[in-house]
């Protein structure tokens, strides 16, 4: 499994996931930039994601939903706060209502994704910052850590395939 560490810090209100992959950083970036690749690993194995929007640019938005094995649907959104192609991006991440609007009954969080080359390929680090201890506890109890482990565990399969031509031009 490519995940090298998962750690949480209740004082800093963060959950950090680090994964190392035997591919160039450009290939790793493409997996996040291309919504068809991203949806193959964003979400736990039993809750695959479908991205209906993915505007990877400052001020852009993503909209997605995850479908459970029983047919239940959970919706989410990202608002891109910063994007440095090939190096990283920062999003506000939240739950969505059925119509795609933010679900204000659930906490939103900030996620920073950083991509860097390593001696053996590349690394992605995601740091999720929660707005409060209560929000962190709620989302962790809902299975966020296990979900991230499951999702990131699928990334190596996506990266083992050649990047689609359109994705290789993205970012």
pLDDT in tens, 20-48: 999 999 999 999 999 999 999 998 888 89
Centre a 10 Å sphere on the Cβ of residue 114 and count the other Cβ atoms it contains: 15
d(CA 55, CA 84): 13
d(CA 68, CA 95): 15
Q: Which two tokens stand for residue 134?
A: 């209560």
What pLDDT sits at residue 171? 46
d(CA 21, CA 3): 9
Residues 123-127, mean pLDDT to the nearest whole number: 96
Say which range, 41-45, 97-101, 115-119, has the weakest mean pLDDT: 41-45
Closest Cα to residue 62, out of 23, 16, 20, 93?
93
* Topology adopted by domain 3-168: Alpha-D-Glucose-1,6-Bisphosphate; Chain A, domain 4 (3.30.530)
Listed by start position, the domains of the chain span 3-168
């Amino acid at each position: 499994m490519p995940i090298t560490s998962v750690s949480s810090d209740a004082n800093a209100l963060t959950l950090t996931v680090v994964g190392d992959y035997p591919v160039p950083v450009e290939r790793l970036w493409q997996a996040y930039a291309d919504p068809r690749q991203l949806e193959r690993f964003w979400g736990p194995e039993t809750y695959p994601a479908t991205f209906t929007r993915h505007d990877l640019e400052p001020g852009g938005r993503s909209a997605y939903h995850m479908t459970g094995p029983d047919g239940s649907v959970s919706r989410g959104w990202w608002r891109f706060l910063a994007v440095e192609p090939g190096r990283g991006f920062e999003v506000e991440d939240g739950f969505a209502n059925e119509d795609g609007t933010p679900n204000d009954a659930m906490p939103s969080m900030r996620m920073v994704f950083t991509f860097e080359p390593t001696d053996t390929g590349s690394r992605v680090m995601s740091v999720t910052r929660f707005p409060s201890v209560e929000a962190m506890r709620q989302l962790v109890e809902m299975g966020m850590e296990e979900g991230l482990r499951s999702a990131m565990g699928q990334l190596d399969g996506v990266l083992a395939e050649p990047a689609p031509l359109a994705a290789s031009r993205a970012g």
